[in-house]
Homo-oligomer: A and B are copies of this chain.
Amino acid sequence: MPKVVDREERRRAIASALLRLAAREGLEAVSIRTVAAENDMSPGAVQKYFATKEDIILRALELTEERLESRYAALPPNAGIGEHLRQYLPLDDKRREEAILLTAFTARAANRADWAKFLEEGYTAIHDSTAELLRQAQRDGLLPADRDAHDLAAGLIALSDGLTLRLLLLPPGAPEADRLLRALDTSVRALLG
C-alpha cells in the first residue's frame, strides 16, 4: 500500500475551506483553485478527493447541517424555547457565516430539486425537535395544551429565519440589531403566552 491519509478528514477540511471562503467572499468566489488555496493545497490535490466542484458544495452543505445539529445538541437540556431560537441567529462570526451560506444555498436550491430536498430535510429535523420541545413544555404545564405544537414550531422557526435575513443586512455590531432582538422576544412571548 502507498502513502496513506485520512481521506474523510481531508474531505472535511476541503469542504470546511469552501465554507470559510464562501462566507468571506461569497459563493461566487468559490472555484476549485480558490478552495485549494484556502486549504493550502494544489488544485490537483483537491481533485483527488472530489471529482467535481458540485461534490464539494454538497459536502459543504452536509457539513453546515452537521454544525447546526451539533450546536443544537450542545444546548443545556433545560434551555427555553427562546434560547433555542437564538442559537440560530447570526449573532457571532461563526453563526453569521453559516447563515450567509444557508441563505445562498436556499436561493439556489429553489431551482434545484436535489439541493432543495437536502435543505428541506434539515428544516424538517429542526422543526421536529422544536415541536418536541414545545410538547414537553405543554406536559410541564409551561405552555397551554390547546396549542398546535407543529404550527407553533413552524411560526417560531419562520420568525427566527426571517429575523436572520434582516440581521445579515446589518453590520455585525449594528445598534439596530438590538431593536430586532427585542422584537423577537416580544413576538416569541406573544406566540407562547
Contacts and interface: CB of A to CB of B under 8 A. Distances in A.
A184 to B, nearest CB: 7
Given A116-B169, A123-B166, A169-B120, A186 B155 contact: yes
Contacts of A26: 107-108, 111-112
B168 A110 contact: yes
A170 interface: yes
Given A159-B155, A162-B161, A123 B186 contact: no
Query: Could you tell me the dominant secondary structure of chain A's interface residues?
Result: helix
A148 B190 CA distance: 12
A107 B111 contact: no
B100 A103 contact: no
A187 to B, nearest CB: 3
A162 B166 contact: no
Nearest to A148: B186
Interface of A: 23-28, 96, 99-101, 103-104, 106-113, 116, 119-120, 123, 148, 150-152, 154-155, 157-166, 168-171, 179-180, 182-184, 186-187, 190-191, 193
Contacts of A159: 155, 158-159, 162, 187
Given A159-B159, A169-B116, A25 B186 contact: no
A27 B108 CA distance: 8
22 contacts: A27-B107, A28-B108, A96-B110, A99-B110, A100-B110, A100-B111, A103-B103, A103-B165, A104-B107, A104-B108, A109-B168, A110-B168, A110-B169, A148-B186, A151-B182, A152-B183, A155-B184, A155-B190, A158-B187, A161-B162, A162-B163, A190-B190
